[in-house]
Amino acid sequence: MEVILRIPGDVVENLRLPPENIEEELKKELAIILYQRGILSSAKACKLAGLTRWEFEDLLGKRKIRRHYTEKDLEEDIEYAVSGV
């Protein structure tokens, strides 16, 4: 399943982001929030954000977001690494 978010035009127009970076930045923000709330594993948050593991870790560090790592996260990371995606 794929989800498409519709954001009202006036909201998009008021984002303080270059128009060419809006989708990329919103995906990063969503990934960070879902990871922080424990809704997404780190591997899936990286994928949503379109970042490598190291880039995502760096972003979390800059935002001072505490990392959480479960056995399920480890399994997903191993699966991700083996698949070469």
The per-residue pLDDT for range 21-44, each reduced to its tens digit, is: 999 999 999 999 999 999 998 889
Give the pLDDT confidence score for residue 85 in this predicted structure.
Answer: 57
The Cα–Cα gap between 70 and 74 comes to: 6
Report if residue 2 sits inside a domain.
no
- Higher-pLDDT residue of 73 and 47 is 47
pLDDT at 70: 75
Coil/strand/helix, residue 63: coil
pLDDT in tens, 51-85: 998 999 999 999 999 887 778 878 877 887 888 65
Domain that holds residue 48: 9-83
Q: What is the DSSP string of 4-32?
A: -----HHHHHTSSS-GGGHHHHHHHHHHH
| pLDDT the model gives residue 61 | 95
Kindly state whether residue 18 falls inside one of the protein's structural domains. Answer: yes
Asked if residue 1 is part of any domain, the answer here is: no
Could you give the number of structural domains in the chain?
A: 1
Residue 56 maps to a domain: yes
